Amino acid sequence: MRTSSRWQRLRDVILSTDPKRRTLVSMALLALVLMTSSAGVMLLVAHSSSAVNATAVQWWAAMSVGGLVVMTAFIRSGETARLRDPSLTIPQMVWTITSGAVAYVLAGDARGLVPSVLALILFFGTFALTMAEVIGIGTFALLAFACAIGVTSRFSASPFGYLDTAYALMVLIVLSGCVALNLRIQRIRVRLHEQRVALAEALQVNRELASRDELTGLLNRRAMQDLMGLEHRRSVRSGRPMLLAQLDIDHFKPINDTHGHATGDRALQAFASTVRDAVRDTDVLARWGGEEFVLMLSDTQPEDARELLERIRRAVAAMTIPHATGTLHMTVSMGLALHLPGDTVEHTLERADQALYTAKALGRNRVVVAPSGHRHQAAAHSGTSARA
């Protein structure tokens, strides 16, 4: 356990404790390891071949590895976080490509090793670059190695032979192949991104369809039940009042029977729009079923809630809905109940429903507030048919 803890602390020191920075530092360290390994191979070649300038290779190895060490330390410090490329992918690739081109000049007869290192460099940065950046890096690599090949042929003691031609062609083939493959990978990335966006949009639409009433665009019954349960728990924790109101359009069935279901649908849509315009942004209206609606009021005093419902009642009474033979007017009856400590949402809805039945019995087009004492059992009065 102690060894594991020490290893964790060491990793935190090297990689940082910030998750995003840990990823960037890890990738930079991987590039550093690859460059160090390549430098080791070049040093081995210089040690084994008298034709290679060992001093120049040593300086090259120090510069190549040292440059990546500086970049890695810069990334670890967090100073790159505000840059557009916080991983320094492009500077690292430019540095390593330049180092590879210099290695091509220094390697002598062993320069056939360089194309494989070059391919590794180009593949390493593929997933962090845009398509334009891939083309730019590929062009830079072609120019860098064209200069390297030119320098090699210019200062070489031996004439440019078939082996030099083979090395130059291999570099060209590797570069062209890497760029073409990288561009292909970038196109796949773009396509996958577009598919992810389309999938996210489709999932959002499905969630909306699952939680919304198709006709009015309001929350449906199931979504409202979930939301009321959440608000109930918040109310218990904070002590803020929560009120529930049952709204029922008066004499709605004759509207469908007399004017048709299309007019009835327009009436429901107009009703929903009117109520939404009358309530606050924090209030939640849902279609409960048919011509019944439920309104949830959070952090509202009962007196203010009643005034709000009276405003809704007047707004609905002032509505005019055109139809084939004239205009249609509607009224609404409402029952309001304060959610009581220790009670359930279902019981509060029952009390609001009983208050709604009372409003219907008193002549409709009115607001009735349920008593805040013990629940009254009035199951016989809670049927929808009694309110039609």
Residue 58, classified by CB atoms within 10 Å of its CB into exposed (0-12), middle (13-18) or buried (19+), is middle
Beta strand ranges found along the chain (DSSP E): 242-249, 284-289, 292-298, 321-323, 326-328, 332-338, 367-369
Find out whether 293 and 247 touch, Cβ atoms under 8 Å: yes
pLDDT at 110 over 80: no
CATH superfamily of 221-387: Reverse transcriptase/Diguanylate cyclase domain (3.30.70.270)
pTM surpassing 0.85?
Answer: no
Instruction: List phi, psi (to 5°) of 313.
Output: -60, -45
Q: What is the pLDDT of residue 200?
A: 84
Locus of tokens 């950046």: 133
Nearest alpha carbon to residue 294 among 216, 378, 209: 216
* pLDDT reported for residue 157: 54
Express each pLDDT in 157-216 by its tens digit.
555 556 667 767 777 777 777 777 777 777 887 888 888 888 888 877 777 667 889 899
Query: What is the pLDDT at residue 384?
Result: 39
Instruction: Name the region of 299 (left: φ>0; alpha: ψ -120 to 50; beta: rest).
Output: left
User: Considering the chain, what is the average pLDDT of its residues?
Assistant: 84
Amino acid letter, 33: V
Higher pLDDT, 279 or 48: 279
- How do the domains of the chain map onto residue ranges? 2-205, 221-387
The answer to whether the beta carbons of residues 331 and 364 sit under 8 Å apart is yes
Q: What is the pLDDT of residue 125?
A: 62
Mean per-residue pLDDT, 333-352: 94
Q: Name which of 112-116, 194-198, 313-317 the model is least confident about.
A: 112-116
d(CA 296, CA 65): 65
> Alpha-carbon distance 314 to 365, whole Å?
9
Average pLDDT estimate for 125-139? 74
Pick from 149, 99, 106, 105: which is nearest to 120 by CA? 99
Q: What is the distance between the alpha carbons of residues 251 and 196, in angstroms, rounded to a whole number?
A: 48
